[in-house]
């Protein structure tokens, strides 16, 4: 493991995992709404990685993790945003994607 430019430990190998090989991805959230729109940390990493996800035969289940107080109904998705399928909060499970 080595530290990246953000101080986060990550593997040193360069093995790439295709989005189609991932069953579920847990995403930390800054904010969310019940339609599956989300605010992250502004880097767009998940959006770029899963951009083609919804078009796959077996798309990755995109799950957000947040506290209930992070819900904000004023959040609006941008054209490049990839929405969540499900959100787990400390009080409930919110089903928001087409899979449910």
Quick check: is 86 in a domain? yes
Q: Is the pLDDT confidence value at 90 over 70?
A: yes
Question: Does the annotation count 47 as an active-site position?
Answer: yes
**Could you say which of 34, 48, 68, 81 is catalytic?**
81
Q: What is the pLDDT of residue 88?
A: 98
Quick check: is 37 in a domain? yes
What is the DSSP code string of 19-85? GGG-SEEEEE-SEE-TTS-EE-SSS-HHHHHTTTGGGSSSPPEEEEE--GGGB-TT----TTPPPPS
Give the Cβ contact number of residue 19 at 10 Å: 15
Quick check: is 3 in a domain? no
CATH of the domain at 27: 3.40.50.10420
Spatial separation of the C-alpha atoms in residues 31 and 8, rounded to whole Å: 22
Domain count, the chain: 1
Q: What is the pLDDT of residue 26?
A: 94
Q: How large is the average pLDDT for residues 13-29?
A: 85
Question: Does the annotation count 23 as an active-site position?
Answer: no
Quick check: is 80 in a domain? yes
Quick check: is 33 in a domain? yes
Tens-digit pLDDT profile for residues 31-63? 999 999 998 887 788 888 888 877 788 889 999
The three-class DSSP label of residue 87 is: strand
Residue 25 is encoded by which pair of tokens? 């991805």
First to last CA, the chain: 37
Quick check: is 5 in a domain? no
Quick check: is 60 in a domain? yes
- Read off the DSSP letter of residue 11: -
Q: What is the pLDDT of residue 99?
A: 67
Question: Does the annotation count 38 as an active-site position?
Answer: yes
* Range(s) of the domain holding residue 56: 17-95
pTM to 2 decimals? 0.81
Quick check: is 69 in a domain? yes
């Amino acid at each position: 493991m080595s530290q990246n430019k953000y101080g986060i430990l990550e593997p040193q190998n360069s093995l790439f995992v295709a989005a189609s090989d991932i069953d579920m991805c847990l995403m930390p959230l800054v904010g969310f709404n019940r339609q599956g729109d989300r605010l992250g940390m502004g880097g767009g990493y998940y959006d770029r990685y899963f951009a083609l996800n919804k078009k796959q035969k077996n798309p990755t289940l995109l799950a957000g993790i947040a506290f209930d107080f992070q819900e904000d109904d004023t959040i609006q998705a941008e054209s490049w945003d990839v929405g969540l399928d499900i959100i787990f909060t400390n009080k409930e499970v919110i089903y928001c994607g087409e899979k449910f």
